[in-house]
Chains A and B, each alone.
Chain A
Amino acid sequence: MNGIRWSYAINQWKPQFDDFVRREQHERALKTISIAGFEGVELTYGTGRWEPLGNPQQLAANFGSVAGFRDFVRGCALDAVSSWYWDPAERSMEHLTGPLSPLAEADVPAIVARATELAEALAALGGSVLLVRPVGGAGDVEPLDDDAIGRLAACWEAVGRATSEHGVRTALHVDFLSALRRDHVPRLLDRTDPSLVGLAVDTGELTAGGIDPVSVIERSGDRVWHVQFKDALAVDDAEEYLQPHAHWTVRVRGGAREVPRWFAEPGVDGGLVDFAAVTRALQAADYDGWIVVESDQSPHPAASALLAGYLVQRELRPLVEGKEAA
């Protein structure tokens, strides 16, 4: 019996800030995730009153308490919130703080405190991994020299130490716009304590960044603490990620080509990721933990969840469990 558990990311249900705010929408999404065969849900950090699932304060405001949200999740027949994605550059209306930078030593105490809050809530929700954006976009920060890598390592080690006190691991989520995209991930991993900091492999982000996720798993399999299965529909082969504000101009707007959709659920027509190969690589690396299936963006979230559920049930889970599909 392996220890892989399957979860689904909630982010595809909230394309705009005023979407997906009502309780019945949350209920329908969680039930959809459950009946598609997943046992957990991954949350994405957000702030303010239109982000009811964005942070512990908003969970309490909407569900009475974090425990109240846990009961709501379980009432939808899901076991846990597997994980939470957080970018410290996102402001916090609850704390009246702006963007925090892991490159700025002065911000580290606040980053650690915020991560601790998320980890504490996550633990109460049955989760085990806090995914963090380890640094800003390549076009938005200075080139990462050894000193910068050292500061990042120190920040995330401090975060990892703090979250581990709640039984939550800290995993670095490197997206296709990241300043770490090129060769810096191994450098950062080498500078961090393997007992405090791990890697989140996002198949779609890596592929969109021109990086083969299988090669990452083969090279750093012992550091993989979290996996996201999402497909990529395009590759940033023109290296537009180096532009400033690429989060908007490239990720959202699609860059010079106006790519309409970078990401989709695994198995989508035209998808570039070989999920069977990734799954086998994870098995070879003895991966043990959550695999969070993601569409990230979807014009039809329920269909995306169900189609992904089919792929997991009929192809990927049987690979993991070593048996034929039912």
Chain B
Amino acid sequence: MSDERAIKWSYMDHWRSNGPAGPVDQWHSHRTMSAFLKQIKAVGFDAIDTFDFRIWQMYGDYGGPAKYQEMVQDHGLERIVNTFHAADYDVRNYAPHLPETHENILEDFRVTMGRWSEIELDNIIVMPATLYYDMEPVTEDKLKYSAECWNKVGEITAGSGVRLTCHHEFFCGIQSEPDIDTFYSYTDPRYVSLFVDTAQHCIAGVDPVALYDRHAHRVSGFHFKDTRNVATGDDHRHRPDSEIMAPTTGKWFHEMGTDQGLVDFAAMMTAVRDNGYRGWISVEHDKANKEGGDYSESTAISRWYAKNVLEEIYR
């Protein structure tokens, strides 16, 4: 581990492997977790990211986040860098554009930050809006209410030393370029950051490099993943789900380095360098196993790309 590097690489923990009874994730057992961590370490990642909902397995199977992180470190990885707060958005009780649901959201984060207090995270990542079809029409007022919600949430997470950062899925209510820009104009830079997911923006028809350049001072991290498809028609508002059920596209996400990828990672890495970013870049290939993909191979290919292509630009 060299402290001279400007960039370190973390792996966002989507993962499936094949058990005797069918596919399992790494949380299946200590053995499958160890196999996962070994593979992440073997290809040269420095750390991992995880999901909030894994906290229960951390407490149940490992004795809490600190103990789980010890296992991560025993495998030669540095730590857990970020957690993704995958909330159950619902217009009845959990919708950032609806002020009457805000107290429920704030309480969720007060409790959540307490659960994570054993370890030091950099970011807690959120999708900053409900599903698109639950928020449309997207108005300035709704964007403003959403911003107010996340300003307050960010103040709570900052109290725990963790940045609140927003990850704009192509199927959420804040995904177009003008809506993203409006949203950030209402958020407080002290409390709300941007987490650039290269594939999600690309699918939404937003150039992730230009978006990053425009908001670089607010960016607290990245998901580097690729896509081969831009959303068309009602893909972004498909009921009940766009992410894995849109009729046009069976697999939205691909690993970096994939053929026919739409993300210009060389331009992205150049922008990361030119904006003087130092810190973590997270790699993910969300749902790599769809349509016959293999997580181990996607992990190897993406890290190969990071090492042999992107690190030649900036490291």
Contact = CB atoms under 8 A, between A and B. Distances in A.
A40 to B, nearest CB: 16
Nearest to A306: B39
A314 B41 contact: yes
Interface string B286-315: 000000001011011101100110000000
Nearest to A33: B300
Interface string B255-279: 0010100000000000000000000
A306 B43 contact: yes
Given A269-B31, A300-B294, A306 B38 contact: yes
A299 B18 contact: yes
Contacts of A35: 43-44, 300-301, 303-304, 307
Nearest to A303: B296
A289 interface: no
A305 interface: yes
A18 interface: no
B88 to A, nearest CB: 32
B17 A303 contact: yes
Given A36-B42, A306-B43, A309-B43, A24 B296 contact: no
Contact of B304 (A34, A301, A326): A34
A311 B76 CA distance: 12
B38 A310 contact: yes
Interface of B is mostly: helix
B38 A307 contact: yes
B41 A32 contact: no
A309 B259 CA distance: 25
A314 B307 contact: no
Interface in A136-185: none
A36 B35 CA distance: 14
B178 to A, nearest CB: 39
B111 interface: no
Given A77-B304, A314-B76, A28 B297 contact: yes
A181 B71 CA distance: 43
B21 interface: no
A305 B294 CA distance: 13
A314 B39 CA distance: 12
B254 to A, nearest CB: 12
Nearest to B257: A31
A326 B18 CA distance: 29
Contact of A32 (B76, B301, B307): B301
B259 A302 contact: no
Nearest to A76: B304
Given A77-B308, A300-B17, A310-B41, A326 B1 contact: yes
A262 to B, nearest CB: 18
Interface string B26-45: 00000100010011011110
A249 to B, nearest CB: 25
A93 to B, nearest CB: 30
Nearest to A269: B31
B50 to A, nearest CB: 19
Given A303-B35, A306-B296, A326-B1, A32 B42 contact: no
7 contacts: A28-B301, A32-B297, A34-B304, A35-B304, A76-B304, A302-B294, A303-B296
Interface of B: 1, 17-18, 31, 35, 38-39, 41-44, 76, 257, 259, 294, 296-297, 299-301, 303-304, 307-308
Interface of A: 24, 28, 31-32, 34-37, 76-77, 269, 299-303, 305-307, 309-311, 313-314, 325-326
Given A305-B300, A307-B38, A325-B76, 15 more contacts: A31-B257, A35-B43, A35-B303, A35-B304, A76-B304, A269-B31, A300-B17, A301-B297, A303-B39, A303-B296, A305-B296, A306-B300, A309-B42, A314-B41, A314-B76
Interface pairs A-B: 10 shortest CB-CB: A302-B297, A302-B296, A309-B42, A310-B38, A306-B39, A310-B42, A303-B296, A32-B300, A35-B304, A31-B304
